[in-house]
Chain A
Amino acid sequence: MQIADHSLTARQHLLVSLCAGFAIAPHTLHVPLPISLFLIFLFVWRLTALRYPQFQPGRWLLVLTTLGGVILTFSQYHTLIGRDAGVGLLTVMMILKILEVRRRQDLYVAVFISYFVIITHFLFDQSMVMALYLFSVMVCLTALLIEINRIKPSATTLEPFVRTAIITLQAIPIAIVLFVIFPRLSQPLWNLGIGSSGTTGLSDRMTPGQIAELIESPEVAFRVSFVTEAPAAEQRYWRGLVIWDTDGHSWFNRKDQVRERHMQLKAHGEHSYEVFLEAHQQRWLYALDVPVSSKQRFRLSQDLILQRREPVRQSLTYQVRSTTEQQNKVVMPGMLQRALELPDNVTQRQFELVEGWRANAKSPREIVELALSHFNKQPFVYTLTPPRYLDNPIDQFLFNAQEGFCEHYATSFTQLMRIAGIPTRLVLGYQGGEYNELGDYFIIRQYDAHAWTEVWLEESGWLRVDPTAAVAPERIRFQLRNDFGTEGSPAMFQLDELGLVGSNLRRFAHMLDNANIQWRRWIIGYSREHQFSLMRNFGFDTLTPLQWSLITIGLIAVPLLLVALRLVLSGRKQPLPEIIAYDRFCKKLARQGISRKTYEGPMDYAKRAIGERPDLTAPISRITALYIKVRYGPNADKSQSKRLLQQVRQFRPGRQKPGT
């Protein structure tokens, strides 16, 4: 049942094209270039056809274009299903739909597809800015629907937006209720085949120079909010993954060595915290050295790496307990052998260097100390822009250039200790982090990436040794400053000596980041676990589907009833104050037996009342005259209606009896 089908005006045609264009726009950045160009071409075509109708494609041309669009999509993705291809196809289909919008019915379809396209953006970008942008597009689309549903166009552009705002504000409580209470699945309904896109971050194969590249990126790796007291900067080693094997050039883990077995540490971690991890397309999760347990029951491997079954493709929130005490005595068969394996390109001078330490040391611990003091005393330079070591990087670094970054120190130290017969492994992760006072959490960025070593000592187990700290202890205690000198210049460290502008800027940045983390924590990171803990707070352990439905309906009904009440009341007219006053006057007279007839005007009524009660002549005529003046006279103001009310209040016909 449709109102007499009035077709769309040129303005509405233009608006729907623009709104739908805005809804698609961000996708042009991540669909392949030919598809982007196709989208832009069709969009321009549409705008041209709106201006010059002779360019509007006929039916056959549309069919051909549609076919072309499908073929183009298929040629780019070699499939039409899956996330990326699906989005590509959706955008192509949508722009084609815009091209052929003629009637109201088409406009609805175009708007609804736009709504759908809006949520597909969240597969690529979940930032607050994007959400705000898409929210505005959604409001525009809705305002457009409101506009085409009226008969006459709105007087102002603002009007449909005001109406949309009212409806949206009323819908928000319902949306929040549903968002909080709607059950979340921990597994997807079906396999998604999300393609991994390149993200910066550590990878499971480390070649010296790789971390130095990361150092250029201020991108956030993860954020950490401590429940218990946060450890000091020099204790904040964020463990990512452990690397055992090397070929003399790169460091990696050989695939054939299965080392994943779930293990449970008995220790109670004294640090409890929540991590907000950005998607990094890897399976390992960052945790404070050494993780003990996680609320989400992630696997903890033998080398104490927290792992997930699936790569982290979307930002993830999890809770971990860690201990900073070095009581890591986990050792498995073959583990120490593996921690002693050397590559083929170990040179003679490396053996000689280590031999010198062995001669002077009584215990492995002393060898470690001698090695560290070697790094300290020799003219080693800690730099963000080390020269490129192409052939046998460790040897060149140790004996030729002696300029390097944490990874160079960590890898060489690892290798030297293995030569000395001390089992060692390389740990990759992050170190430090910037504290955000506003939100009481740490921001760990890509430039905090770090590599260090763990050595096996009989008496203490796996012990963290950071050779970088021996060269540049500031690296561990302060933030790296993100500006780069010329090649080989020593790295600068950021001390808390910012000027007024600098500190305000930093404050502002922290504020933004805090908003971001709250966004992540409560919106993007809202999960099954949050839901369960919320339910427990309200005293429910589990909910049957029936209970769940009843609660949902109840919680939605309340805001809906309020909206209904508001809608009904908002149109109701408040009678004018002078009418209220006059009504009261009439009631007072009616109590004296002189009730006003429906056909009687105020003057006639007054005449009749005075005739019956001559003693009340003065007040009746005064009140009636004032009422007529306020109600019907020109230039009536509020003070006069107030005066009327006052006079009516003082009017007490019952006090004076007639004839007395």
Chain B
Amino acid sequence: MTRSALYRWFRQFRRQAKPDSYGGVTVKARSIYILPTKQGLLLAVVLLAMLVGSINYGSNLGHLATFLLGGIWITTILHTWRNLLGLRLQPQYVDAVFAGESADFCLSLINPSNLDRFAITLKQKKNFGDSLDIPNNEQLPIHLPLVSKKRGLFKLPQITLHTTYPLGLFHAWTYAEIDLSCLVYPKPAERGDPPVTESYTKSSSGDRGVGSDDFVGLRTFRTGDSPKQIDWKAYARQQGLMSKQFGGDRHLEITLDWDLIPEQEPERRLSLLCRFILQQEELRHAYAMKIPGLSIASGLGSGHMQKCLSALARYGLADADR
């Protein structure tokens, strides 16, 4: 049996709270694990030393003090366990991010009981979320920032809800699977010019960069642009070399087309498309997008951008994952 197979075999015994119909998790008595912390073990050693000392000196009061602390040590197990029991974790929202950025998963931690809860921490492997005290019958927002790795749907991994309250001697935790996914757009490629199919339509708002009558906007510098065309002020603002565009009364419609991108690798294509979308938004030029199986009509603005980026993010994913 290989190591990973062994791990899978072991995992079946692992108690884990599955999301209910609301996508959240309520911590059940049997899904809580509990082990002593470093401090808990240290106190156990100290208690042992106290016991040996008491036995040796035949000190009954020493015995009593040791046993009282021992009793507290044991009772703390229950208190730590109780501190988690019955808590509810409810998914709230998560904003879409570009691959490689940190996704801020927002959840709410609900304490439906009449007992106050303290120092509840949310974490996922090495990533720590907030630690909170939750008074009885309250609910508090919790943020868990996780770095997204690749484009697509970033499902909130199994998270751990943990606490060491009241004495820090025991560490109680529970694994919770929350139904919350973050949409991850492709990582934008480096700046560059989109290979575009240009179609001119007559438009009251004019065209872009073809005529030379009116200033219509800026675009990135291309070799061969006259130095007169360069927007030196923008360069001084460190926005890169930009060329001023002048146009007439025709409107240029840009379509960002999957098929026109010379590079073959799909993820690379998606990255480039993503960058082009951002550039178009920056320039405030309307754009349409065409990827296999989907074409989005020309538009501009955050709603349109999100639509396009989402399409890129979801490209090629199995339907179930969409």
Contact = CB atoms under 8 A, between A and B. Distances in A.
Interface of A: 1-4, 83, 105, 108-109, 112-113, 115-116, 118-120, 122-123, 126, 131, 134, 138, 142, 145-146, 148-152, 163, 167-168, 170-176, 178-179, 182, 184-185, 188-190, 192, 194, 314, 523-526, 556, 560, 563-564, 567-568, 570-573
A388 to B, nearest CB: 41
Interface residues of B, number: 56
Given A523-B64, A571-B115, A151 B58 contact: no
18 contacts: A1-B37, A4-B128, A83-B57, A115-B43, A115-B69, A138-B69, A149-B165, A149-B167, A167-B72, A175-B68, A176-B67, A179-B67, A184-B58, A188-B57, A189-B52, A524-B60, A568-B29, A571-B136
Interface in B11-61: 29, 37, 39, 42-43, 46, 49-50, 52-61
A174 B47 CA distance: 15
A113 B50 CA distance: 10
Given A116-B49, A571-B86, A189 B70 contact: no
A175 B86 contact: no
Contact of A4 (B59, B68, B82, B121): B121
B54 A149 contact: no
Of residues B49, B55, B136, which shows the largest number of chain A Cβ atoms within 10 Å of its Cβ?
Answer: B55
A573 to B, nearest CB: 6
B57 A150 contact: no
Interface of B is mostly: helix
Contacts of A560: 74-75, 78
Of residues B60, B131, B132, which shows the largest number of chain A Cβ atoms within 10 Å of its Cβ?
Answer: B60
A564 B80 CA distance: 11
A399 B67 CA distance: 64
Interface string B151-187: 0000000000010111110010000000000000000
B61 A174 contact: no
A4 B57 CA distance: 42
Contact of A138 (B39, B60, B65): B65
B57 A175 contact: no
A508 to B, nearest CB: 25
B69 to A, nearest CB: 6
A571 B114 contact: yes
A570 B165 contact: no
Contacts of B128: 3-4
Contact of A182 (B29, B46, B63): B63
A119 B66 contact: yes
Interface string B104-138: 00000000111100110100000010011100100
B53 A119 contact: yes
The 6 closest A-B pairs by CB, nearest first: A171-B71, A174-B71, A571-B113, A571-B115, A178-B67, A175-B67
Given A3-B164, A189-B56, A568-B82, A150 B67 contact: no
A444 B130 CA distance: 65
B118 A150 contact: yes
B59 A123 contact: yes
A542 B75 CA distance: 30
Contacts of A1: 37, 162, 171
Contacts of B133: 150-152
Nearest to A1: B171
Contacts of A2: 37, 164
Given A178-B70, A571-B115, A564 B50 contact: no
B30 to A, nearest CB: 13
Contacts of B280: none
Contacts of B64: 175, 179, 523
A122 B119 contact: no
Of residues A116, A173, A570, which shows the largest number of chain B Cβ atoms within 10 Å of its Cβ?
Answer: A116
